Amino acid sequence: MELWLFYQDGSASKPADALVYADGSILPEWATNDELLRTYALDDGGVVDSSGRAVGAFIHIEDDEGQEAALEFIGLAEWLVVDCADWKMIPLENLVAAADGTATKIAASISNPDQLQGAAFALQRGVDALLLPDDAEMWGVAQELAAQRLADTTGASEASAMVLDQQIELYPLEILGIEPGGMGDRVCVDLVQMLEVGEGLLVGSSASLLILVHGETLTSQFVPPRPFRVNAGPVHSYVMMADGSTKYLSELVAGDEVLVVSPSGSRVVSVGRLKIEPRPLLLVRYGDDIGRSGQVFLQQAETVRLVSNIENPLSVTHLEAGMKVLGAAGEAGRHIGNAISSDVEEK
């Protein structure tokens, strides 16, 4: 997905793929000296490149007639630049659907940061370019969305909009013991995307040694799967966030971005809601091969599973001392979720 700058007098340089301006405007020196920057003029409803060649149309959509006028250019124009009045998503989705499989590319004119995600991921495919004003906040969000689009298209995790300060590396942890944990307020974290088998969240009572709790993606004899859910334990537990910080489960709110982890990689997913209920708990203690230990409280239920180093996740109700599961090490010292260098001991 390309990012285009809509130039008006005084606009500063941006890392744009193209510069769009009203016909007759005088371009700044920084634009004319950039040989890689494409320029397009908007000329009476048309889009003209620097050589004077008509490459598309600019349509302002206010009603059905505007949408029909834009649809007439699908398959004919190289670029269709659209500006939706009052920002209506349905016309944009209709154009994206109509352009799919054709040579026509859609550029959406954006005037508000809230419009960016809708345009970038309209019908999952999204538009081909975002036309943006000279606004630092909007460019920051747009660059993150462009990186996310690239990651979704190529599968390249390094292109993710969220860059972690540390690489998440899973390694085996040994179950040291399991015992009753009393009653507690258990948190189910419901996500806005489906989870795959093997994926879950890193949680635990200590940020220094987190354990990977599997999502409810597997079929059970008595309850249907909830492939968007991780039964993550009680309110006091840490959970790994998308930026490498931690939050208490009790602090999560809809819209927070957590890190979904599996043995094959990680990805960023937003929280849709939380479901907090009193439930009986198990206390699971575990440790690694260099002497560190940790613990996690989890609901005493067959559907709560830990990710193991074998093919099948292990139900917490069938755990035994000596079994191996997967987890990750982190910094024990945390201040409002961020790692700090102070000496902190958690037991």
Same domain membership, residue 142 and residue 77: yes
Does any domain span residue 166? no
Q: How far apart are CA 316 and CA 243, in angstroms?
A: 28
Does any domain span residue 246? yes
Does any domain span residue 113? yes
Q: Which residues, other chains included, contact 299 with Cβ-Cβ below 8 Å and sequence gap of 6+?
A: 186, 231, 233, 279, 280, 281, 282, 316
Same domain membership, residue 184 and residue 84: no
Same domain membership, residue 182 and residue 131: no
Domain ends where: 92, 121, 156? 156
Q: Output the pLDDT for position 251.
A: 95
Same domain membership, residue 140 and residue 181: no
Q: Output the pLDDT for position 346.
A: 60
Q: How far apart are CA 104 and CA 80, in angstroms?
A: 7
Does any domain span residue 91? yes
Q: Which residues, other chains included, contact 276 with Cβ-Cβ below 8 Å and sequence gap of 6+?
A: 185, 186, 187, 188, 235, 250
Does residue 194 contact residue 297 with C-beta atoms inside 8 Å? Answer: no
Same domain membership, residue 146 and residue 115: yes
Handedness of CA 265, 268, 270, 271 (dihedral sign): positive
Alpha carbon of 288 to those of 141, 292, 326: distances in Å?
Answer: 40, 6, 10
Q: How far apart are CA 42 and CA 109, in angstroms?
A: 12
Q: What is the mean pLDDT of each run of 10 residues along the chain (347 residues)?
A: 88 86 80 82 87 90 88 92 79 88 92 86 88 90 85 51 55 94 96 93 92 92 87 96 91 94 90 96 93 93 87 89 91 45 51
| 3-class DSSP string for 227-275 | CCEEEEEECCCEEEECCCCEEEHHHCCCCCEEEEEECCEEEEEEEEEEE
Does any domain span residue 36? yes
CATH (domain of 142): 3.20.20.70
Q: Output the pLDDT for position 294.
A: 93
* Cut 0.85: pTM above it: no
Domain count, the chain: 2
Same domain membership, residue 272 and residue 217: yes
Q: Output the pLDDT for position 189.
A: 97
Q: How far apart are CA 302 and CA 315, in angstroms?
A: 6
- What domain range is 60 assigned to? 2-156
Does any domain span residue 346? no
Domain ends where: 126, 156, 186? 156
Same domain membership, residue 178 and residue 150: no
Q: How far apart are CA 95 and CA 115, in angstroms?
A: 16
Q: Which residues, other chains included, contact 165 with Cβ-Cβ below 8 Å and sequence gap of 6+?
A: 243, 244, 339
Same domain membership, residue 246 and residue 111: no
Same domain membership, residue 175 and residue 148: no
Domain ends where: 156, 180, 197? 156
CATH (domain of 212): 2.170.16
Same domain membership, residue 124 and residue 207: no
Same domain membership, residue 183 and residue 110: no
Does any domain span residue 161? no
Same domain membership, residue 123 and residue 265: no
CA-based max dimension of the chain: 77
Does any domain span residue 343? no
What are the two backbone dihedrals, phi and then psi, of residue 316, each rounded to the nearest 5 degrees? -65, -25
